[in-house]
Chain A
Amino acid sequence: MERAEELLKLEHVKKAYDGQEVLKDFSLTVHRGEVIVIVGASGCGKSTLLRCINGLEPIQGGRISLQGQVIDGRAKNIADIRQKIGMVFQSYDLFPHKTIMQNTTLAPIKVQKRIRADAEKEAEELLQRVGILDKKDNYPRQLSGGQKQRAAIVRALMMHPEIMLFDEVTAALDPEMVREVLDTMLELARSGMTMLIVTHEMSFAKAVADRVVFLDDGVTVEEGTPEEFFERPKTERAKRFLHTFEFDSVKK
């Protein structure tokens, strides 16, 4: 089978904070339409990785490129590249002084210079799809966590990104709200969106991923299909990591 176009390419990426290496030598190629889930223990560099891809953090070595264009947070073309990368954060980060409609249409109108009426029409369709159209004139504080996160996803989608980055988007949610957000992401994956997801929801990872990347201590320890990774992990470190999600029965 002919592989789809290479969309995002990370080559030997190095990232350090104050001399401490977070990413040591990380390489990954994401093809169009692929859904890649990155798992790993807290502090292994997963979130940093996504932030580097969006140019929010400078890297100290290697190369990150989207459709051949090198990503550098200080370069002039960063705004063009960021339009192609949608990012959703753990803490939603909607703009508190704007309604949901304004949150979702601000960047399309101001950055992409789209006509307000068109942007609003599209926002309404997307809000309808994620089930929060009735909240469009509300302010973020009036929404539940799950609703806010779905609004944040719509806000990112409004830019028509080539790829979506999800940074532990359900980590701050109450358990009963996790589902609605994950369902939204599953639907997005089904529609063919290229996605890079950092999550701790293992059963979700199994369901949504084409490929799972296990990151530990700044390097890729294991990479494979969800079946391979979750059922037959090859490395000791992956086994140990997966084991933290299971509980041994106390009843003998």
Chain B
Amino acid sequence: MQDLGISVLFKGINMQRLLLGLWAALRISLISVLISIPLGILTGIVMTLRNPVTKVLTRVYLEIVRIMPQMVLLFIVFFGVTRVFGINLPAELSSIIVFSFWGTAEMGDLVRGALISIPKHQYESAAALAMSKAQIYLYIIIPQTLRRLVPLSINLITRMIKTTSLVMMIGVVEVLKVAQQIIEANRKTSPNAAFGIFAVVFLLYFTACWPISLLSRYLEKKWS
């Protein structure tokens, strides 16, 4: 049987390096998620306002994020900002800025969708039961919004984790970059390492995203 290059994994601290790479990827996505959720909730609430100015602004923001490939955004922030403003942003910080910029827009749109999907009658029947504004939001509107929001935002989180594979293009050493380095370094001794190492990378992404998907499916079932 051909050597699949799995053995490369156990040379030196290669496995440890891969795990550190994974951690770098998760760190970027998790910090971005933590920033995106509160900002996204605010953006979503702003999106539901009837003010024409905020409507246009949020619309333009959302469209920019949707149209621009994440890679272009990364290049603009990492290379563009350095040139134009002379600020030297570290690659990881640039990644977090871009991912938060993206996550906030998408999260905002999800929140907007969830909020407007609550029928007006829910507010009214709660008001008719003499509940105060705060009680209506606390007991009726927010729980229903969250139920609609959680599965959708979990999907966004897994997409963000997967998209971190792009940040190696601006020099962040994350799991995919480490994998490439390992493969390059062992090209002579085990030319098939690409298969084994990338298979491991696949498994690493899988173990990171699978539990999150499971949680989403569980919540969807519980709340459907």
Contacts and interface: CB of A to CB of B under 8 A. Distances in A.
Interface of A: 54, 56, 79-80, 82-83, 85-87, 89, 91, 93-97, 106-107, 110-111, 152, 155-156, 159
Nearest to B138: A110
Which of the listed residues A80, A95, A152 has the most CB atoms from chain B within 10 Å of its own CB? A95
Given A97-B147, A97-B223, A111-B135, A82 B121 contact: no
Nearest to A84: B130
Given A111-B130, A159-B129, A95 B124 contact: no
Given A79-B132, A96-B144, A97-B147, A89 B127 contact: no
Specify the main secondary structure of chain B where it touches its partner.
helix
A110 B144 CA distance: 18
Contacts of A95: 122, 125-126, 139-140, 144
B140 to A, nearest CB: 6
24 contacts: A56-B127, A79-B130, A82-B128, A87-B128, A89-B125, A89-B128, A91-B121, A93-B119, A93-B121, A93-B122, A93-B124, A95-B126, A95-B139, A95-B140, A96-B144, A97-B144, A97-B147, A97-B223, A106-B129, A107-B126, A110-B135, A111-B130, A111-B135, A159-B129
B143 to A, nearest CB: 5
Interface in B72-127: 119, 121-122, 124-127
A179 B121 CA distance: 24
Nearest to B140: A95
B168 interface: no
B131 interface: yes
B124 A110 contact: no
- Interface size grouping (class) on chain B: 10 to 19
B139 A106 contact: yes
A106 B140 CA distance: 10
Nearest to B124: A56
B35 to A, nearest CB: 28
6 closest A-B pairs by beta carbon, nearest first, are: A93-B125, A107-B129, A82-B130, A87-B128, A83-B130, A93-B121
Contacts of A82: 127-130
Contacts of A86: 128
Contacts of A156: 128-129
Contacts of B130: 79-80, 82-83, 107, 111, 159
Interface in B142-176: 143-144, 147
A195 to B, nearest CB: 15
A96 to B, nearest CB: 7
Nearest to A93: B125
Contacts of A152: 125
Contact of B128 (A56, A91, A94, A96): A56
A56 to B, nearest CB: 6
Given A85-B128, A95-B144, A97-B147, 7 more contacts: A54-B128, A82-B127, A86-B128, A89-B128, A94-B125, A111-B130, A152-B125
Contacts of A94: 125
Contact of B129 (A80, A96, A155): A155
Contacts of B127: 54, 56, 82
Contacts of B132: 79, 111
Contacts of B122: 93, 95
Contacts of A107: 126, 129-131
A84 to B, nearest CB: 9
Which of the listed residues B132, B139, B140 has the most CB atoms from chain A within 10 Å of its own CB? B139
Contacts of A89: 121, 124-125, 128
B182 to A, nearest CB: 49
A56 B130 CA distance: 11
Contacts of B125: 87, 89, 93-95, 152
A93 to B, nearest CB: 4
A89 B129 CA distance: 12
A35 to B, nearest CB: 20
